[in-house]
Structure 1
Amino acid sequence: MDELPIGRRVAYWRSRRKLSQQVFADRLGKSKSWVDKVERGVRRLDKFSVLHEIADILQIDVQLLLGKDPERRSDALTCIDQVEVQEIRAALERYDAMTAYFDAAPQPPPLVDLGKAVNHAWLTYQYSRYGELTRSLPKLLRDAQAADAGSAGDEVRLAANLLGQVYQIASSVLRKIGECELAWLAADRATAVAQRADDPLLAGIATTRVGNALLAMGRARPALELNVNIAHRIDTSRGDPAALSVHGQLLLQGAMAAARLGDSATVDDLLIGAEEVAGQVGGDENHYWTSFGPTNVELHRAAAAVELGDGGRAVETHQRLAEPLFNALLPERRAHHLLDLSRAYAQIGDVGTAGEMLLRGDRLAPAEIRCRPLAHEVMADVLRRTRGTPHCHLAELAEQMGVGV
């Protein structure tokens, strides 16, 4: 594996920490010219004391400065580190609306621009670019909070709607990377803001984020009850595709919670209900960013089977999928399914194919495989049960994930 010059590694992490060359130089007690020469490779970094000081300022292990190309590492471009988690936490802990009650609200961005940024963030999530998303989230959270706090008149509901969406995006990506308590906090905020936005469907889909966070924290029973309760409160009588999608997605998340409880009868009931709703929607749509439709129902059927320990049923469900419809889904959905399928093959003892599913998922959406703690567990299981030497590509992916071979 090619080595990245140490100066470029310094530049990469300085940029990731949002430090200008001047600020970085000031903290080091060096000149900006010195930093520039180091980053361009004109000046060598050959003193360990300086390397350790740089690592301390950048809040990384010194081995990252001495090691491999960070672009090939899961904890570099595609994932998140604890410094960035703390930035998101700080943004979630802001109370601009309460501050604005006493003082003038922060200057909010135009709602048109904020709306474009929110749409871009949703697409970034659904294309599984989690590293890019988590690094942009703190600013997006602050902007949306400021817009919500500073809105008036006809803009109040729109600003609340946008903030509610940002909280949902934050909850979804935080859950993916294992920050479950923060995911719950963001989801809880999303439900409250959705009510102020006077949007029942936004509140309904925000409920699925709460349920997902609860499930990730091992609270399957309240996750099941919440999803099913709110599903029955969504008005689908007019046949509105958006309402049907939200209703159906609540049923699917309820099915996943029931599967975690081992309640196969409830799983089947909820999946049948979701399948009927998907038939009314027609094709696989993305109303309220749900990706809901007949194909997504089948993906959840397979995932629920895996949770119930029935890997064979999950594989059979996958084999019935229409390949063109599956390939038309967004990368996050497909890679998530391939991770579930890897677990399914491992359950039936086919660890070779389980490894192939991980590789397919990584080629499609690297962050879905490299960033998720669940994927790390599956990779460790596959390696442990592989007889002989793992395939070179699987071994390389394991190394990049930080999973021992």
Structure 2
Amino acid sequence: MEVAEEPIGRRVAQWRQRRGMSQQVFADRIGKSKSWVDKVERGVRRLDKYSVICDIAQVLGVDTSQLMGREPQRQPGLSSCLDQAEVESIRQSLERYERLGIFLQAASLDSKPIPELKKTVAYTWAAMEKGHYPVVARSLIELLRATPIAQENPIDGTAAEASEILTQVYQIASSVLRKLGEPQLAWLAADRSISAAQRGNDPLLAGTATARVANSLRALGRHQAALDLNVQVAHGLMAEHVADEPTPQALSVYGFLLLQGAMAAALAGESATCKDLLDSADIAAQRMGDDGNYYWTSFGPTNVALHRAAAHVELGEGRAALAVHAQINPAKLNDLVAERRAHHYLDMARACVQIGDWSKAGKALSLAHRTAHSEVRCRPVAHSLIDHILHHSKGSSPPEVMALAEQCGLTK
């Protein structure tokens, strides 16, 4: 059996730390001394007994092959970027109800200070916008445990602040789960984000939470319900916060809802409604004057153009999508967050496929990968696109697609 050059003890240490276990806790769980664990991890003591390796793998929640330096074959979606223990941890966190308080003994657990949670959420948003989905998911594991507890016992802050943090945590969870092909879990997280937002004092967070719910409905194929929800909340936001003297923040959330509604309309085949919503979003973007990223919306004239191109793709109008793309200012596009740019390049790859330009599709995929590689490696939609090109392009597939297929574990 061929093993990797990295010592097995170092891999044990990495997985132990990834699981948040101290050497003493880990030693207790495998029935060894802390000194034994330390020597194994430093390479002073050899770990060559297969039965012991199996015991360690079970405690760490990984395959024995991973400890021995051989990654198991994984499938597209969440498990492409996370190991099974991390997937299950997120699922269990979403299925818990910490706000039942004393009934689940949540109040007795340690609560983290509000400022510390805010920093962690800001870090997780930054990772999300860079398309670092494995990093995002691993941060969520801790945040999904800690933030509900902070609502019951807020330290250096208020319960309302904790709720506003929690709605962000659920919104991040919903977005990444939807991207990674888990629409049911994404819907559950988005639904929780609405409830958390209502316990806070920021109505704009409720607006973005609504968009996450609608996006989850869209991912579940409920396009009309997603359209109606986005439009209704956008109209309410217009009346309350946008009609008179709107702030850039209010305009961003309002425009964000319109854009998500436009995408739902496109998927529902309602091209006229889609165009109307995009035009309304464009008016809001022009009122802002330039691109911004208030409330993590990346809203502005450039993002409206990206959604206009994406809508054409969903309507099967690849040539029109590419024409919109050609009019976008490259410098403005490059100023957007990496996730938004990579997502756009995936859309343009789809547009190229629609017009049968396999070479340009490969180049767009490669550009998406260079911009935010997890947007390609982790997303089922990207895997499906690569697989489609591999099996439908005439002659040899574009070299960029062949390279990405190998990196993603796909074969022709």
Q: What is the TM-score when the length of structure 2 is the normalising length?
A: 0.88
Q: Shift of residue 360 of structure 1?
A: 1.2
> Could you tell me whether the CA contact under 8 Å between 1:105 and 1:149 is conserved in 2?
no
| Aligned mate of 1:85, from 81, 84, 87 | 87
Match of 1:147 in 2: 150
Q: What is the CA deviation profile of residues 11-54 of structure 1, one whole-angstrom value per residue up to 9, with x for unaligned ones?
A: 43333333444444444455555555554555655555555444
Q: Shift of residue 367 of structure 1?
A: 1.0
Aligned-residue RMSD, C-alpha? 2.9
| Aligned mate of 2:356, from 343, 349, 352 | 349
| Aligned mate of 1:206, from 193, 205, 209 | 209
Task: State the AA in 2 paired with 1:209.
Answer: R
Q: Shift of residue 166 of structure 1?
A: 1.3
> Could you tell me whether the CA contact under 8 Å between 1:4 and 1:69 is conserved in 2?
no
Instruction: Tell me the distance in 2 between the aligned counterparts of 1:76 and 1:216.
Output: 15
Residue-pair matches, total: 402
Q: Shift of residue 342 of structure 1?
A: 1.1
Work out whether 1:231 is the aligned partner of 2:231.
no
Work out whether 1:110 is the aligned partner of 2:117.
no
Instruction: Tell me the distance in 1 between the aligned counterparts of 2:86 and 2:156.
Output: 35
| Aligned mate of 1:135, from 119, 123, 138 | 138
Instruction: Tell me the distance in 2 between the aligned counterparts of 1:155 and 1:365.
Output: 36
Work out whether 1:289 is the aligned partner of 2:296.
yes
In structure 1, stretches of 5+ residues that fail to align are none
What's the secondary structure of 1:239's corresponding residue?
A: coil
Work out whether 1:382 is the aligned partner of 2:392.
no
What's the secondary structure of 2:299's corresponding residue?
A: coil
Report which stretch shifted further, 189-198 or 372-381: 189-198
Question: Could you say if the C-alpha distance between residues 356 and 9 of structure 1 is closer, same or farther in structure 2, counting changes exceeding 3 Å?
Answer: farther
- 1:236-275 alignment, distance < 5 Å: 236-237=242-243, 238-275=245-282
Instruction: Tell me the distance in 2 between the aligned counterparts of 1:233 and 1:240.
Output: 16
Task: State the AA in 2 paired with 1:5.
Answer: E
Q: What is the CA deviation profile of residues 296-338 of structure 1, one whole-angstrom value per residue up to 9, with x for unaligned ones?
A: 1111111111111111111111111100000000101001111
Question: Could you say if the C-alpha distance between residues 27 and 153 of structure 1 is closer, same or farther in structure 2, counting changes exceeding 3 Å?
Answer: closer
Task: State the AA in 1 paired with 2:92.
Answer: A
Match of 1:315 in 2: 322
Report which stretch shifted further, 182-191 or 20-29: 20-29
> Could you tell me whether the CA contact under 8 Å between 1:79 and 1:131 is conserved in 2?
yes
Task: State the AA in 2 paired with 1:99.
Answer: G
Question: Could you say if the C-alpha distance between residues 15 and 352 of structure 1 is closer, same or farther in structure 2, counting changes exceeding 3 Å?
Answer: farther
Report which stretch shifted further, 392-401 or 84-93: 392-401
Task: State the AA in 1 paired with 2:87.
Answer: V
Match of 1:99 in 2: 101
Instruction: Tell me the distance in 2 between the aligned counterparts of 1:143 and 1:102.
Output: 14
Work out whether 1:358 is the aligned partner of 2:358.
no
**Fraction of identical pairs, as percent:** 51
Q: What is the TM-score when the length of structure 1 is the normalising length?
A: 0.89
In structure 2, stretches of 5+ residues that fail to align are none
Instruction: Tell me the distance in 2 between the aligned counterparts of 1:221 and 1:206.
Output: 18
Q: What is the CA deviation profile of residues 28-84 of structure 1, one whole-angstrom value per residue up to 9, with x for unaligned ones?
A: 4555555555545556555555554444443334443455579xx999998223321
Work out whether 1:400 is the aligned partner of 2:399.
no
Q: What is the CA deviation profile of residues 122-153 of structure 1, one whole-angstrom value per residue up to 9, with x for unaligned ones?
A: 11111111111111112112222122122499
> Could you tell me whether the CA contact under 8 Å between 2:292 and 2:300 is conserved in 1?
yes
What's the secondary structure of 2:236's corresponding residue?
A: coil
Work out whether 1:368 is the aligned partner of 2:368.
no
Task: State the AA in 1 paired with 2:308.
Answer: R
Question: Could you say if the C-alpha distance between residues 113 and 23 of structure 1 is closer, same or farther in structure 2, counting changes exceeding 3 Å?
Answer: closer
Q: Shift of residue 97 of structure 1?
A: 2.7
Question: Could you say if the C-alpha distance between residues 102 and 326 of structure 1 is closer, same or farther in structure 2, counting changes exceeding 3 Å?
Answer: closer
> Could you tell me whether the CA contact under 8 Å between 1:311 and 1:344 is conserved in 2?
yes
Q: Shift of residue 268 of structure 1?
A: 0.6
Q: Shift of residue 182 of structure 1?
A: 1.4
Instruction: Tell me the distance in 2 between the aligned counterparts of 1:199 and 1:60.
Output: 41
| Aligned mate of 2:18, from 7, 16, 24 | 16
- 1:140-219 alignment, distance < 5 Å: 140-151=143-154, 155-219=158-222
Question: Could you say if the C-alpha distance between residues 348 and 51 of structure 1 is closer, same or farther in structure 2, counting changes exceeding 3 Å?
Answer: farther
Report which stretch shifted further, 134-143 or 41-50: 41-50
